[in-house]
Structures are given as C-alpha cells and as structure tokens.
Amino acid sequence: MINFNYETDFKLNSEEKISKWIVDTISSENYKLQEINYIFCNDEYLHKLNVQFLNHDTLTDIISFDESVGKIIQGDIFISVERVAENAKDFGVTFENELHRVMIHGILHYCGYKDKTDKDAILMREKENHYLSVLNTY
C-alpha cells in the first residue's frame, strides 16, 4: 500500500498512476511492497526532522525512514516540495521530473542501492533514469 500525505498545499496530479509506477518498480527490483508513506512538506518541516533525527542542520529534499525487512519494503519518505522546486530550477528540469526522480530515489534506497561512492551514484542515476522513462509509458 502506498499512502500520500500532505503537510503543505501541494497535491500530486495522479496518485493512482504514480502508485502503480512505484509498485511496478519495487516488483521489477524483486522486492515486495508492505507500506510506503510519502509525506510532502515544506523546507521548515523537513529541516526540523533533519535536525531532530539525523543531527544535520541543513536543508534537504528528501529524508527516508526505512523500516524494510529483507525483501519487504516499508517506510516513510518525507519530501520538501520547496527544495524539489529549487533543485528543478538549478538542474534545468521540470518540477514534475525532479519530484518523480526524488520519489523513486527513495524507493531505490529501500531496494538496496547506495549513492555514497561515485560508482554507486552512477548506478543510482542510471536506475532513476530507467524508471523515469518507464513512468512516461503509463
């Protein structure tokens, strides 16, 4: 089950389409979905979580709390729509493209992908690009 929660005025355009895309992504990676909660918020909301839980006094676009066990995916993914909008401008992409990239990035972490080394970051970006292209087919 995928839940979308909003702590800001932002709303996804197509929750059903995005849910199917995420479920299909998880399945393609040979994992099973238990429950994912997406929480869309602003910078202030996410900054407080970043300080409280991660001791990072910085702005970020996403924080995920992974509760997965083995191949069963479960967790909470907090996304600052303000940060996503800023990053989209910085990267020269649409807001929707950057939002979808961030959303699938969190899922890929739950599927075991890392991005701390250059090699891992390249693979993560390849996976993001692949699944973004899949979303365009829905």
Rg (CA), the chain: 14
100 assigned to a ligand binding site:
no
78-129 per-position pLDDT tens digit: 999 999 999 999 999 999 999 999 999 999 999 999 988 999 999 999 999 9
| Those residues with Cβ within 8 angstroms of residue 5's Cβ, 6 or more apart along the chain or in another chain | 37, 38, 39, 40
6-58 per-position pLDDT tens digit: 999 999 989 999 999 999 999 999 999 999 999 999 999 999 987 877 777 87
At residue 21, the pLDDT reads: 97
61 assigned to a ligand binding site:
no
**Cα gap 90→36, rounded to integer Å:** 28
Helix (H, G, I), strand (E, B) or coil at 13: coil
> Hey, what domains does the chain have and what are their CATH numbers?
2-135 (3.40.390.30)
At residue 74, the pLDDT reads: 97
**pTM for this structure?**
0.91
138: pLDDT strictly greater than 90 = no
Q: Where are the beta strands (DSSP E) in the chain?
A: 2-6, 32-41, 62-66, 72-80
| Those residues with Cβ within 8 angstroms of residue 32's Cβ, 6 or more apart along the chain or in another chain | 26, 71, 72, 73
* 124 contacts 108 by C-beta, under 8 angstroms: yes
For residues 56-72, average pLDDT: 89
For residues 138 and 132, which has the higher predicted lDDT (pLDDT)? 132
- How far from the centroid of its chain's Cα atoms is residue 77's Cα? 6
At residue 61, the pLDDT reads: 87
105 assigned to a ligand binding site:
yes
